[in-house]
Chains A and B, each alone.
Chain A
Amino acid sequence: MSTSEAAAGDFDTCFRDLFPRVARTAALVSRDPDLGPDIAQEAFARLYDRWDRIESVEHARNFAFRVAVNLARSHLRRRLAVPFGLRGPDRPQADATASSDAWLVVVHALGVLSPRQRACVVLVDYADLDAATAGAALGMAEATVRVHLMRGRRALRAKLSTTDQEVEP
């Protein structure tokens, strides 16, 4: 077995361990259930390209999350830059997910957060990264992550609480 094949074997394990969480993180940040796996696919393709320079599982994890979150935020920018169907919808809605109350409520609530707050909350409260690691992924200081996290959590709790009260009989 060559070195690259051995690395590919390790890559397989890494992929299977991390891919679902990275894909769902990207889905939450972009608020698009179809897009999350596509973004994760691209993030892992880039990870594969530099696999021989990856030093540890933590290194691979941080790289994948960093690329995925940046791509998700770039997607937001693209959607904003060519908005409102000027080129037609870029992809169909995922009916099963899009019609689920649990998804709709959370995605609607995430919409009140700024893109940075949303990325911080999803990385820490969903993906289980600590503030320092999330900061490295987002290109922010740890203290900045904590500020965005605090404000994002406050806004998210308030929005979810309001929504929960609205749907109670």
Chain B
Amino acid sequence: MTADPALKDRLTRAADLVPVDVGAHLGHLYGDRRARVVRQRIGVFALTAVVALLAAAIIWRLLPLGTANVPVGPAAPSGTLAVMRGTLTGSDGVEFAAVAYPVEPGGAPRTLARTAGLPVWSPDGSKLAYVVGPNHHVDLIVADADGAHARRIATDLPTFGFAWSPDGGSIAVRTLTDHGARVSLIVVGTGDVQDLPAFDGDWWNLAWSPDGTRFAFAGPAGLWAQDLDGSHRQTLVSDLHVVNPEWSPDGSVLAFGCRPPDDASDYRYDICTVHADGRGFVRFADWAGWDAVPVWSPDGSWLAFASDRGATPAQVAQNPGGARLEGVTIYLMRPDGSDVRRMVPASDRYELVPTDWRA
């Protein structure tokens, strides 16, 4: 079977736009070979040592974290988490579903949408928003809280998360202009779009304060907050790569994931918190792996987050450079970093990332 001439022409014209510097790549390849061989030899020794150490550490750590040890009583967390569940689908990759997970032990998960990312309920709990499609090209969907009556309200967004307005009437998303990112508000009822003035700075995630007056922006150089009209910019965290900020229910504290900006592996993240006035920054660095995507309990007394701290030693060893993060599941902790507990055992068939929490 030979090439289709018409398709070949279209594909070739598009592919020719991809810049390729053959000489530079060839020089880089030769220069990289010696370092690569050395790294491989060191890696064999290092991997053996790391696996042995991690196995001991994880066994020590997991024993007190089993669900059988979760205390019950007034301090116990409750409610339901919206969770993004990634399931392997053979060679075609990973499919994401939106699933409701009861926080109390013994509750059965319930699928809200079979293909969905970043499910988040509206502030009043009556609607569910989520995205479908690959990064940079997602469609925004709004459905009833149980996933029924889904409808697409925006398409092909270059968004990295979105934020419900406190009144539930609109959703803020990141859109792109020739001059950088800006915030666009999508009216849930009509799908109408209102573009806000451009906000300075390189950012990819935003969060909307509970009182409706401020956005928090997260990006490669830190975290800051601004009024909706762009005024009163305040740096909250600098010199850190910040992702997925979320305001506490009373608006006094922000939780987020962070890592040093120069960490090229892009693997180790820690849960961090900072007060809304920029004081009291805390980084919970007790796990040298992937802790990210914190979400607040409705009463503000707990944080749920995603972590690979329960992964097997083999998974932990491959996660920094592997094709996917394995062994990721849901953990809970107090906002001061205490009382860390695993909510759902890790699985070798799927990963779980919490994205919202309602009563």
1/0 per residue, CB under 8 A from A, across B34-72: the answer is 001000000000000000000000000000000000000
Which one of A24, A76, A157 contacts B18 once the chains associate, using CB atoms below 8 Å?
A24
Interface residues on A, range: 35 or more
**Chain A contact surface mostly:** helix
Within 8 A of A (CB), among B118-136: 118, 131, 134-136
Beyond A24-B18, A24-B20, whether A87 also contacts B266 by CB under 8 A is yes
In the bound complex, do residue A103 and residue B14 qualify as a contact, i.e. CB atoms below 8 Å apart? Answer: yes
B86 touches A81 (CB 8 A): yes
- Contact status B323-A78, CB under 8 Å: yes
- Which A residues are CB-close (under 8 A) to B96? 80, 83
B241 in the interface (beta carbon within 8 A): yes
- Within 8 Å of chain A (Cβ to Cβ): is B274? no
Query: Is A106 a contact of B11 with CB atoms below 8 Å?
Result: yes
Tier of interface size on chain B: 35 or more
Cβ of B80 within 8 Å of any chain A Cβ, yes or no, is: no
Q: Which residue of A lies closest to B266 (CB)?
A: A87
Kindly report which residue of chain A lies nearest to residue B131, judged by CB atoms.
A84
Inter-subunit contact B136/A82 (CB<8 Å): no
Are B8 and A125 within 8 A (Cβ)? yes
Interface string of A94-131 (1 = CB under 8 A from B): 10110010110111100100111000011011101011
Q: Does B25 contact A (CB under 8 A)?
A: yes
Contact with A along B183-219 (1 / 0, CB 8 A): 0000000000000000000001100000000000011
Is there an interface contact between B134 and A111, defined as CB atoms closer than 8 Å? yes
**Are B29 and A102 in contact, CB atoms less than 8 angstroms apart?**
no
**Across-interface contacts of B10 in A (CB, < 8 A):** 106, 160
Q: How far is the CB of B222 from chain A (nearest CB, A)?
A: 12
A137 at the binding interface (Cβ < 8 Å): no
CB within 8 Å for A130 and B26 given contacts A37-B20, A78-B324: no
How close is A164's CB to chain B, nearest CB, in angstroms? 10
Question: What is the CA–CA distance of A78 and B325 in the complex, to the nearest angstrom?
Answer: 8
> Which of chain B's residues have a CB closer than 8 A to the CB of A105?
14
A19-B25 in contact given A87-B243, A87-B292, A88-B204 (Cβ < 8 Å) = yes
Closest-by-CB residue of B relative to A131 is B1
| Complex interface: chain A residues within 8 A of B33 (CB) | 45, 48
Residue in A28, A76, A83 whose beta carbon sits within 8 Å of that of B11 in the complex:
A28
Cβ contact of B7, chosen from A25, A41, A121, cutoff 8 A: A121
What is the CA–CA distance of A97 and B205 in the complex, to the nearest angstrom? 24
Within 8 A of A (CB), among B5-31: 6-8, 10-22, 25-26, 28-29
Contact with A along B140-179 (1 / 0, CB 8 A): 0000000000000000100111000000000000000000
- Cβ of B93 under 8 Å from chain A: yes
Given contacts A15-B22, A36-B18, contact A74 B161 (CB under 8 A): no
Residues of B within 8 A of A76 (CB): 93, 134
Cα–Cα distance between A12 and B16 once the two chains are bound (Å):
22
Q: Are A48 and B135 in contact (CB under 8 A)?
A: no
Residue of B nearest to A42 (CB): B29
How far, in whole Å, are A63 and B348 apart by their CA atoms in the complex? 31
Which chain A residues in 39-94 approach chain B with CB under 8 Å? 40-41, 44-45, 48, 73-74, 76-90, 93-94
**Chain B residues engaging chain A, CB cutoff 8 angstroms:** 1-4, 6-8, 10-22, 25-26, 28-29, 32-33, 36, 84, 86, 91-96, 117-118, 131, 134-138, 156, 159-161, 204-205, 218-220, 241, 243-244, 257, 266, 269, 292-293, 306, 323-325, 351, 353
The 8 closest A-B pairs by CB, nearest first: A85-B160, A81-B324, A106-B14, A24-B15, A126-B11, A77-B93, A131-B1, A80-B94
